[in-house]
């Protein structure tokens, strides 16, 4: 039985971890923390968990968590996970960070986009936690930096094309996210009156996820890839739909593009390549760890339009984190995640 701790259990990604892990037969949650709700039962904070967990929230106590757990998930703001990871790694405890602290190959990129100071990655066996690309390095890692939700949707849709050298030039990315992507804490941008019957762009070309996308897409391409990224907040709870506009190097048919995706993901359970003419929709992956990929070729302009859909809280965060845990502990990768999407 894998003993699990969750730092930040009352945020959206934390409670989603608990929902998914409740049916994981090889996991027992031993520690959960919350600065806002310390001392309360998790079921009192989230009645949806009533009958599934009888466990109280602690304040952040790293030594206590490390002493009780085999792996800890850190669902915390940037800068906190690095401190926890140092202590955990010393004691042989695995860390899966759902924040940004361990996503970058170059620590200076993290400092530039997220600010703050800590002692970097020296001495930590780290992996970028996108299983479909980095399964082998995840298996050997002590610390996994779980990808961001937008980058997950973008990277899965573009890596096969970049590896096969079928697209060139700058890539335009239009992504639309549900309100839960804005986090649990209330603010003007996520209250009902601001979000209902409204869709708006934010942080265009300057979103913190841009360097993460560029890092991973450039590695797939073998040369620097440039992107223009426009995220939007939409009036739905969950889901990300990303639409990517790419210039084709040569004329390729719909069938040829399909074959590239199908071959690349032929052994990947959680990535579904849709038949030509079928487009992804967030409702078709709701509550699941799946990514759906669709595409269209605009012959008039030589543009390939790639579309992906994920649930931002599952494949975009907590589900992918559990997928990474399963890989690290060499158990069935689908364990706790083999869930049919909720529809309608």
pLDDT digits (tens, 9 = 90+) for 211-226: 999 999 999 999 999 9
Longest dimension (CA), the chain: 62
* pLDDT tens, residue by residue, 311-341: 999 999 999 999 999 999 999 999 999 999 9
CA distance linking residue 262 with residue 274, whole number of Å: 9
CA distance linking residue 86 with residue 164, whole number of Å: 38
0.75 cut: is pTM over it?
Answer: yes
CA distance linking residue 330 with residue 94, whole number of Å: 13
For the cut 80, the answer to whether the pLDDT of residue 236 exceeds it is yes
Tell me, what's the pLDDT at 123? 82
For the cut 70, the answer to whether the pLDDT of residue 186 exceeds it is yes
Beta pairing partners, 3: 28
Tell me, what's the pLDDT at 183? 81
Tell me, what's the pLDDT at 119? 67
Tell me, what's the pLDDT at 184? 75
Among residues 149, 195, 246, 291, the one annotated as catalytic is 149
* Other residues' Cβ atoms within 10 Å of the Cβ of residue 178: 23
Find the mean pLDDT for residues 207-214. 97
Helices (H), the chain: 12-21, 42-45, 62-68, 81-90, 107-114, 131-140, 149-163, 192-195, 210-221, 254-264, 319-328
Tell me, what's the pLDDT at 47? 97
The answer to whether 237 touches 180, Cβ cutoff 8 Å, is yes
* pLDDT tens, residue by residue, 13-66: 999 999 999 999 999 999 999 989 999 999 999 999 999 999 999 999 999 999
Query: Which of 239, 231, 212, 213 shows the shortest CA–CA distance to 174?
Result: 231
Find the mean pLDDT for residues 107-136. 88
- Beta pairing class for 167-177 and 271-273: unpaired
Tell me, what's the pLDDT at 120? 66
Residue 149: active-site member = yes
* pLDDT tens, residue by residue, 246-259: 999 999 999 999 99
* Other residues' Cβ atoms within 10 Å of the Cβ of residue 275: 9
Q: Identify the residue with better confidence: 78 or 265.
A: 265
Spell 240-263 as b/e; 16+ CB within 10 A means b: bbbbbbbebeeebeeeebbebbee
The answer to whether 175 touches 205, Cβ cutoff 8 Å, is no
For the cut 70, the answer to whether the pLDDT of residue 97 exceeds it is yes
As a whole number, the mean pLDDT across the chain is 95
CA distance linking residue 14 with residue 183, whole number of Å: 11
pLDDT-derived band at 121, boundaries 50, 70, 90? confident
Tell me, what's the pLDDT at 302? 97
pLDDT-derived band at 245, boundaries 50, 70, 90? very high
Of 13-22, 188-197, 234-243, 326-335, the least confident: 188-197
For the cut 70, the answer to whether the pLDDT of residue 190 exceeds it is yes
Task: Domains for the chain: give ranges and CATH numbers.
Answer: 2-124 (3.40.50.720), 150-312 (3.30.360.10)
pLDDT-derived band at 191, boundaries 50, 70, 90? confident
* Residues in Cβ contact with 227 at an 8 Å cutoff, skipping those fewer than 6 apart: 154, 170, 171, 172, 173, 210, 213, 214, 217
For the cut 90, the answer to whether the pLDDT of residue 122 exceeds it is no
Helix (H) or strand (E) holding 234: none
SS3 295: strand
The dihedral built from the CA positions of residue 111, 238, 8 and 185, taken in this order, carries a sign that is positive
pLDDT-derived band at 205, boundaries 50, 70, 90? very high
């Amino acid at each position: 039985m894998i003993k699990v701790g969750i730092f930040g259990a009352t945020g959206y990604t934390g409670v989603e971890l608990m929902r998914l892990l409740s049916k994981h037969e090889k996991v027992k949650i031993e520690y959960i923390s919350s600065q806002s709700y310390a001392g309360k039962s998790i079921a009192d904070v989230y009645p949806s968990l009533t009958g599934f967990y009888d466990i109280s929230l602690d304040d952040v106590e790293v030594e206590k968590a490390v002493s009780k757990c085999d792996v800890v998930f850190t669902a915390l703001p940037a800068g906190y996970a690095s401190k926890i990871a140092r202590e955990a790694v010393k004691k042989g405890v695995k860390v899966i960070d759902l924040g940004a602290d361990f996503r970058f190959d170059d620590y200076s990129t993290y400092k530039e986009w997220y600010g703050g100071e800590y002692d970097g990655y020296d001495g930590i066996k780290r992996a970028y936690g996108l299983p479909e690309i980095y399964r082998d390095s995840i298996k050997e890692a002590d610390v996994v930096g779980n990808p961001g939700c937008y980058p997950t949707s973008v990277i899965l849709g573009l890596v096969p094309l970049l590896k096969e050298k079928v697209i060139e030039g700058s890539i335009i990315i239009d992504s639309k996210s549900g309100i839960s992507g804005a986090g649990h804490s209330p603010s003007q941008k996520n209250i009902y009156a601001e979000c209902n019957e409204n869709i708006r762009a934010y942080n265009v070309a300057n979103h913190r996820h841009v360097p993460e996308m560029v890092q991973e897409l450039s590695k797939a391409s073998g040369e620097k890839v440039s992107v223009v990224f426009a995220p939007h907040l939409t009036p739905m709870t969950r889901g990300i739909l990303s639409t990517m506009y790419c210039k084709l190097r040569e004329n390729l048919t719909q069938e040829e593009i399909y074959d590239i995706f199908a071959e690349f993901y032929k052994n990947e359970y959680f990535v579904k390549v849709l038949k030509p003419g079928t487009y992804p929709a967030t409702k078709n992956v709701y509550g699941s760890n799946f990514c759906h990929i669709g595409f269209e070729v605009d012959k008039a302009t030589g543009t390939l339009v790639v579309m992906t859909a994920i649930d931002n809280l599952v494949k975009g965060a907590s589900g992918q984190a559990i997928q990474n845990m399963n890989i690290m502990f060499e158990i069935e990768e689908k364990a706790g995640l083999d869930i049919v999407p909720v529809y309608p």
